[in-house]
Amino acid sequence: MSDASIEAVQLWREELKLCKVGPGQTVAILAPGGDAMQDRAQGFLAAALELGADAYVVTLPGPRMELYGLGSTPLTGRPQVIELLKGADLIVDLVLLLFSKEQLELQAAGCRVLLCVEPLPILQRLLPTPELKERVLAAAADLEKAKRMHITSDAGTDVEFELGHYPILVEYGFADEPGRWDHFPGGFLATHGSDDGVNGTVVLDTGDVLLLPQMRYVEDPIGLTIENGYVTKIEGKGLDAVFMLDFLPSQDEDREAWAVSHIGWGLNREARWSMHNVPGEFGMNQRAFWGNVQFSTGPNTELGGTRETPYHLDIPMRNCSLWLDDKQVLDKGKVVVPEYA
């Protein structure tokens, strides 16, 4: 089914409604050159116009950002386009501005930014809801108060994060407030431990997910030693450890690539860990599925840190238990707090 089909336009319209698009609003749709996103751009354009908003498409030639190159985007070096976009209330991002200075500049100017790069079949299953927003915000209120996060698993994970130094990234799947970024479909939250305040061991077990440029389900465990905010050792006998080590530059080449990045947990009850092999997928089923702990490595600039590196790995883990101070939030991969379970 095309991203500009009647069914797709209906979906984009529901999503734009959640983003508070209506008469008097201006929606800028940012599309990459080439054919890949043209149907989606036209579909969003039709949906925004149907809702009574003003809308336009900006097509920016330039390579679509790959996961190996976070931080440089088709907006880089185009200040005149950035100035134009600042006049929009909502920017629909089909080019992947994530982790870029340009995105932060647009948010600071008050633009709402909605990233939408997952293939249509995934998004049709995962249209977010106000109920998802409520649960993610309830979890964020707990995370906000916590001074310490402790994560364990039967596989051997035992790691502590000192909290309170970074803001919280709240992804409920729609951008409904000025300056807010979100990612359709969303359904998780995250923050960073303090720069030198993450210590312990993380063991990636069978079924955990390495969101490398090609998604990979871990088969053979990988042990990560973490000292003062950095992974210092990666051990494992299987192919998965080989992949991880091949992805990363050496610690001498790029120390920040080995830094611990965001940490949080998934709350999306519709997302499916096992839903894989949809062509072009970005991995939001795996990032957001209910009860996963999403560990990650690499940059922290998105939440205001100073660690810059193009190497970012999201690593959703199953069957973990998680405590915020003394309050248990997850028990072996199940959310146990009634307000956001």
CB of 214 to Fe ion, least distance (A): 16
Residue with tokens 């030639």: 61
Contacts for 75 with CB less than 8 Å, ≥ 6 apart: 30, 60, 81, 82, 95, 97, 100, 102
Q: Please name every residue paired with 234 in a beta bridge, in sequence order, or none if there are none.
A: 224
Nearer to Fe ion, 4 or 212 (CB): 212
CB of 103 to Fe ion, least distance (A): 14
CB of 296 to Fe ion, least distance (A): 5
Nearer to Fe ion, 13 or 64 (CB): 64
CB of 320 to Fe ion, least distance (A): 17
Six-digit token string for 117? 């790069």
Q: Which residue is nearest to Fe ion (CB)?
A: 314
CB of 302 to Fe ion, least distance (A): 8
d(CA 77, CA 102): 9
Nearer to Fe ion, 42 or 301 (CB): 301
CB of 102 to Fe ion, least distance (A): 18
Q: Single out the residue of 228, 163, 170 nearest to residue 193, CA to CA.
A: 163
Interface with Fe ion in residues 163-222 (CB under 5 A) = none
CB 137 within 8 A of CB 170: yes
Interface with Fe ion in residues 239-268 (CB under 5 A) = none
Q: Please name every residue paired with 217 in a beta bridge, in sequence order, or none if there are none.
A: 209
Nearer to Fe ion, 77 or 213 (CB): 213
Nearer to Fe ion, 100 or 296 (CB): 296
CB of 288 to Fe ion, least distance (A): 12
CB of 98 to Fe ion, least distance (A): 8
Binding mask of the shown chain, residues 104 to 143, with x at each position contacting Fe ion by CB under 5 A: ----------------------------------------
CB of 67 to Fe ion, least distance (A): 10
Nearer to Fe ion, 11 or 257 (CB): 257
SS (H, E, C) the chain: CCCCCHHHHHHHHHHHHHCCCCCCCEEEEEEECCCCCHHHHHHHHHHHHHCCCEEEEEEECCCCCCHHHCCCCCCCCCHHHHHHHCCCCEEEECCCCCCCHHHHHHHHCCCEEEECCCCHHHHHHCCCCHHHHHHHHHHHHHHHHCCEEEEECCCCCEEEEECCCCCCEEECCCCCCCCCEEECCCCEEEECCCCCCEEEEEEECCCCEEECCCEEECCCCEEEEEECCEEEEEECCCHHHHHHHHHCCCCCCCHHHHEECCEEEECECCCCCCCCCCCCCCCHHHHHECCCEEEEECCCHHHCCCCCCCCCEEEEECCCEEEECCEEEEECCEECCHHHC
Nearer to Fe ion, 268 or 296 (CB): 296
Nearer to Fe ion, 153 or 296 (CB): 296
How many residues at the interface with Fe ion, by CB under 5 A? 2
Nearer to Fe ion, 157 or 297 (CB): 297
Binding mask of the shown chain, residues 279 to 318, with x at each position contacting Fe ion by CB under 5 A: -----------------x-----------------x----
Binding site for Fe ion (CB under 5 A): 296, 314
